[in-house]
Every structure is written in C-alpha cells, then in structure tokens.
Amino acid sequence: MPATASLSRLPLPKDRFQHLDLLTEGLDTASLWWLSGYTAGLARRVAPGPDVPMPVRAAAEPDAGARLTVVYGSQTGNAKRLAEQLAQQAETGGLAVRLLRADAYPQRELAQERLLYAVISTQGDGDAPDDARGLLDFLASRRAPKLDALSFAVLGLGDTSYPQFCVIGRKLDARLAELGGKRLFAFGEADLDLDTVAVPWAKQALGIARDVLKASGQPAEARVTPLRPHLEVAEAASWSATHPFTAEILAAQRITTADSAKDVRHIEVNLAESRLDYQPGDSLGVVERNPEPLVDALLETVHLDGTAAVSVGDVTRELREWLYAKREITRLNRPFVAALAERSGDAELKALLDPAQGEALRALLEASQPIDLLQRYGAEWTPEALVTALRPLVPRLYSIASSRAAVEDEAHLTVAHVEYPTPAGTRWGAASHWLATRGEGAQIEVYLERNERFRLPADGARDVIMIGPGTGVAPFRGFVQERAAAGATGRNWLFFGNPHFHTDFLYQLEWQAALKDGSLTRMDVAFSRDQAEKVYVQQRVRERGKELYAWLEGGAHLYVCGAISMARDAEAAVRDVLVTHGGRTPETADEYLNALREQHRYARDVY
C-alpha cells in the first residue's frame, strides 16, 4: 500500500474491531523446527542472497568430557552471534563443540557436563532474555544438580545505561559456582561496544578450552561435523554493524497528525542491491550519526576545539568527528557518571554511584543525557579524556514493519522521533533524529539483524494474537502482510493502543482495509487519553479474556512487541486471563506461559 494512504484518518465502525469471524489469509513460512541429537533451532528458507547458514546434525556426539558446550541466551541477537563465533573458532581450532540456544539445552544432561561456556544478555534493567528463562529457573530451583565436575566461564552482555548492568550473567556465573562448578576465569562484562570485552574473552576462552580438553585426553584431531556448512556466502552476508549497506530512502513521512504530541515516521528503505532477505520479525540495524546541534552544544559546554586531533589506539580523528559519528552523546551510562564524578569531585554525583542509590541513579540515567551532567557539574576535560569517557556509538535496531511478499526489495520502518525541549536546550534521540531528518533520496547505512525467536507459525492454519501498542505495532504490519500474501487460513487478532484516536492511530487506513478484506480478523484498540480514565492495551486484554483464552486453548500463537515495561504489563494481563478464565492459580498460570514459550507459541520483541 502506498505510504500516503497511511495519512488518512477515516473513523472505523466499532463492530469492525470486534468479532469478524472471517477466514484470514496468511503465511505458511516454510520454517521447520529442526531437532537432532542434542541440538535444536529454527530453520528457514535460504534465498540466493545473504543468510546465516543453518546448523547441521553432528556426525557423532563426543563424550561430555571430550567436548566444549557453548550455550547462549539472546534477546536481540548479539549473544547468539558471539556464541556462534566462539563455537566456529573452537571447531576451526580442532575442538569438539556443540552450540545450543538456552531453551534447547537438555537440562537432564547438565550433571554430566564437563566444559561449558555461556554467553548471555541482560535485557534492559535486569530482565533475562526470553530464551534463557527456562534454564535459569531450572538452575535456581532445588532440582538443579551438583556440578562438581563442571568447568565453566560466562560472558555477560548488557548496557551500562541501566544500573543492573549484566546482572543476569553475574547471577548465572554465581549460581554455577554455587552448585560446585569450577570457574575457569573471571566473568566477562560487555557493554554495547561488545568487541572490546568479547574478543579478548573469547581468545582466553579458546586457549583454556584447548588445555582442558587436552588434559581430558581428547585427540588433537577430534571434531564434529561442522556446526555451519561450508557454503559459498554472497558478499551481502558480510553486511553488518561494522560493514553496513548504503541504502536509499524511498519515502519518509509523518504518520501522526501535526497536533499530536508524538512524532512517528514511516520510512521506506530500498534494499534492491543488497540481496538482504529478511523475514517478518527481523530488525534493520541503522548506523546513525549524532545531531550536529548537540555536538556543537557539547563542545561549547566543555570549552574544547572541535578540530583538535584525538587518537584512540591507532585511529586519529578530529574531536568533532568523534562526537558526531563515533561516540554516544544522547544516552547516559554509569561509567560516564563515574568519570565525571571523579573529574568534578562532586560529592552528590559520587553518592549516586553507591549501590544503595540504585533507584536515584536509574532515574538520572533515564532522564538525562551526557550534556545535561556536563552543564550541571563543572570539570576540566582534555579532548582525549572526553572521548575516552564517552561510550562508542552503536547502531540502533528497528523492527521491520513490512513483508517482502508485499513490498519486494524494500524494508519499512516505524520510527518514533525523539525530540524534546529542556531549559538548557533541545534534546534528541540519535537514530530517530537521524532518520527523521533524512528525506527521500537520502542515503543511510543499514544491516540485517535476524530474530529467529520472533517468527510466524510454520502452520498457516494457526491463529495469531498480536499485542503491539505505539511503534510496537511495526512487526505486526509485516506479519499481516505476510500471512495475507501466502493465503494462510489462521485468524489474526491485533491489540493496538496510543494516546489519541484522531492523532495517533498508526496505519489506520491499512488496518481498516485489512479488516474489510479479512486479512485481519479482529482488532481491539485502547486510546489512553480519549476519556477521563486512562485505558491501555492490557485492560483490553483482560476485557477480552474469555475469547483470548479460547484462542490460546485452540493453539494460537501469542506475540508482544514494545517497551519492556509494557511487555511486563501485557504479560501480567495474560496471566490474569489464565487465572480468571482458565481456572488456574498464579503459579500454574506462569507454568502455562512457560509452556507456551517452550512450544514457541509465546514470543516477545521488547526494547
């Protein structure tokens, strides 16, 4: 559908949001659950373009004492990618290795495990990745075995913008040791600039693994069949955060009205020359640049010359270039607060770093940018010290809001432009402002981030329930397009919410058309500020609980996309539905949700 259609604001009859028991067209994705021996993963159709080769069955599974097991828990794909790299390097080095996602790890075998490396992320401020919840719960329970024969190491991934940085990895590391495991070397904590910690951690891990397995008597030539087939990979497979594809913006328009408090943009990106073959549920990584007015304001605040040459390692750039393209200046994190506290000597700032001040620090990190603290706390900076104190700028991920079956060689994004005034000046979000200020014909740098956990059901006859308020609706636009194009017979039910019907109803005309042609069976909406009492999507979930429970009991797949806090509220609402309409206790409701996760019928894409 042309992007301009999204601007229409036609009221929808209320009954269109209720029971439209029409057959829904949808997608049979040809994704098959692959399960062999000790490994499991989600298979996908491999097109001529770039793709990550699928794991293949091991020819023979070596004894536990003669192999390395690499387990990962990943929310956005970083932990998965690092674990795959580690396993591939181990295999190339002649080690017997198996690679497993945490929810595919056979818990009964943990007691026999001898050498285990875990790579696990912390989502936001202390949440475990969805695919690791089952294993972590098992390890925390009384059923967890003694691990006196286990040697292990853990690499944690996190974001120092949150006080509970890498807390899930730390808990896993501590629990394995508590159960009797031998920690081979110290827990690794990687911030968003992963490689600074992950690369030396992996090098150390591989060296120690060779020594451990050699001591166990493993032959030097021991191997398993490759984890990844040795295929010829197209050049496009190399598109990444460090080697992005330069794409053209085909369309860019605001899809909230001018009088809305929210500025949401619909952006269409041309991928025709990239050979990137995404699936609904995947994300597009955007290599952004910082707002130039913010760079100017920051330089003025610290009284430094933007043309000053600054060297980091063997790279030398002007200070302005570091701040514009290579350093994070729109998100505050704990290490920068610590560096500023040290340079300023401010007692109040130092006090915030005390563990007991976690809530106060969290509030500061959420509400402030580095420039806000630099303006508030005076300190002398050299160009080198400033660049060192700021975290490297990393790309942002956006859920793709389209299906290739509908838009071919394009990827559509739904972007909330972050821009707000403060007494000290305007503040922006780096990537959202970068995209919002790129017009049609502009070029941006992108790459594909796959999300194998957030996939449509392989069986097109399965029903789908989608909860996506605000820009969380983005992947579900792609879901509905995909299922309509493939002619699946399962029903599609969407929950959507935003502040106001008339100003913030994203893709209203498209949903109206989908309800009319039957590709969307039902839609329930919550516009929180259109009445005296605020109403959110989780309230609609509770109100429609009887029908929602019936869909789940009938085999429906449940998806949630949006902010972490919203996802928690939505899960709580579904739990209430299970208690109220399923006759369960809160404990058995949690077991039901865990079972849905294990069956890959409950998936979240949260940020």
156-204 pLDDT tens trace: 999 998 889 999 999 999 999 999 999 999 999 999 889 899 999 999 9
Q: How far apart are CA 249 and CA 267, in angstroms?
A: 7
From residue 209, alpha-carbon distances to 39, 86, 179, 380, 479 in Å are 21, 11, 21, 46, 42
Q: How far apart are CA 597 and CA 607, in angstroms?
A: 18
Q: Indicate the burial class of 412 (C-beta count within 10 angstroms; 0-12, 13-18, 19 or more).
A: buried
Q: How far apart are CA 204 and CA 187, in angstroms?
A: 12
Task: Name the residue among 328, 327, 324, 326 with its Cα closest to residue 296.
Answer: 324
Stretches where the chain sits below pLDDT 50 are 1-59, 219-236
- 3 state SS of 303: coil
Our measurement of the distance from residue 92's CA atom to the centroid of its chain's CA atoms, rounded to an integer in Å, reads 29
Tokens coding 215: 């001591």
Tally Cβ neighbours within 10 Å of residue 140.
12
Q: How far apart are CA 128 and CA 594, in angstroms?
A: 14
Assess contact for 468 and 524: CB atoms under 8 A.
no
Q: How far apart are CA 371 and CA 457, in angstroms?
A: 46
Q: How far apart are CA 158 and CA 161, in angstroms?
A: 9
Q: How far apart are the first and last CA of the chain?
A: 27
- Residue % of the chain over a pLDDT of 90: 81
Task: Name the residue among 26, 12, 2, 13 with its Cα closest to residue 521.
Answer: 26
Our measurement of the distance from residue 567's CA atom to the centroid of its chain's CA atoms, rounded to an integer in Å, reads 13
**pLDDT at residue number 24:** 34
Report the DSSP pairing between strands 410-416 and 264-270. Answer: antiparallel
Residue type, position 132, single letter: A
Handedness of CA 213, 119, 38, 108 (dihedral sign): positive
**pLDDT at residue number 125:** 78
**Model confidence pTM above 0.85:** no
Our measurement of the distance from residue 125's CA atom to the centroid of its chain's CA atoms, rounded to an integer in Å, reads 14
Residues 6+ apart with CB under 8 A from 499: 260, 261, 262, 527, 528, 529, 530
Assess contact for 131 and 167: CB atoms under 8 A.
no
